[in-house]
Amino acid sequence: VSPAFDAAPPVLHTARLVLRALTEGDRHLWLVTARDNDAFWAPFMPQPPAGADLHARFQDTLHRAAQGWADGTAVRLAAFTNAGDLVGFVNANNIVRRAFRNTDLGWAVTHAAQGQGLAGEMVTAMITWLVDPAGGALHRVAAAIMPRNTRSLALAARIGMRREGLALRYLEINGVWEDHELWAATAEEWGTAAPRSLPAVR
């Protein structure tokens, strides 16, 4: 495990966002954001169990993030504007090390935040940390995107990820084993592939 995992989860600053782990103090904001955006996210993302109570989901979200950080298998961050609005999530899951040093990345922004380049800012900052030898120290960051999720495909291409191919019946979304395009970035290419206009993570 990277030495970075001995400390607290990272706090990443971009031009317009702060990315950090959720805390108990975010409960109300998270509940309102989830309630307002569940239907927007539903077509593209694995869904919470039917009928799951929002408070229980928040508790589970906190637990998964803390557990994943503690055992080095996940880095799950929320994105806030400088005004304090919760605008998105970027989750690095399934972190494995040894010869693979790989993670599966997931992302979403709120409906209100869509179309402003905020997702690109958020995901770029996260990948930069994940492949930084002083950060996640990973070699490859992967993302799986449904072919009809045109906005997510455009985002992956725009920030400099590379399309690897089509994985058949890859993830179960709303009860269907959906084909997904696999996209990735490796540490070697990320420094040159990431748009230089984006601010560095400090």
Ligand X SMILES: CC(C)(COP(=O)(O)OP(=O)(O)OC[C@H]1O[C@@H](n2cnc3c(N)ncnc32)[C@H](O)[C@@H]1OP(=O)(O)O)[C@@H](O)C(=O)NCCC(=O)NCCS
Bridge-based pairing state of the strands 102-109 and 75-81? unpaired
Least distance from C-beta 3 to ligand X, angstroms?
Answer: 30
Q: Where in 2-41 is the site for ligand X (CB under 6 A)?
A: 41
Does residue 44 touch ligand X according to CB under 6 A?
yes
Q: Where in 152-171 is the site for ligand X (CB under 6 A)?
A: 152, 154-155, 158
Contact 29, 86 (CB under 8 A): yes
For ligand X, how many residues bind (rule: CB under 6 A)?
20
Q: Give me the torsion for CA of 177, 157, 108, 147, rounded to 10°.
A: -20
* Cα angle for residues 109, 114, 116 (degrees, 5° grid): 120
Nearer to ligand X, 115 or 199 (CB): 115
Nearer to ligand X, 105 or 137 (CB): 105
Among 16, 20, 26, CA closest to 8: 20
Least distance from C-beta 23 to ligand X, angstroms?
Answer: 22
Residue in 17, 45, 90, 185 binding ligand X, rule: CB under 6 A:
45
Q: Where in 65-124 is the site for ligand X (CB under 6 A)?
A: 107-109, 114-120
* Residue with smallest beta-carbon separation from ligand X: 117
Other Cβ atoms less than 10 A from the Cβ of 179: the count is: 15
Q: In the 8-state DSSP scheme, what is residue 26?
A: G
Those residues whose C-beta lies under 8 Å from the C-beta of residue 115, and which sit 6 or more positions away, are none
Does residue 194 touch ligand X according to CB under 6 A?
no
Residue 191 to residue 179: CA distance in whole angstroms: 30
Nearer to ligand X, 70 or 151 (CB): 151
Nearer to ligand X, 4 or 144 (CB): 144
List residues binding ligand X (CB under 6 A): 41, 44-45, 107-109, 114-120, 145, 149, 151-152, 154-155, 158
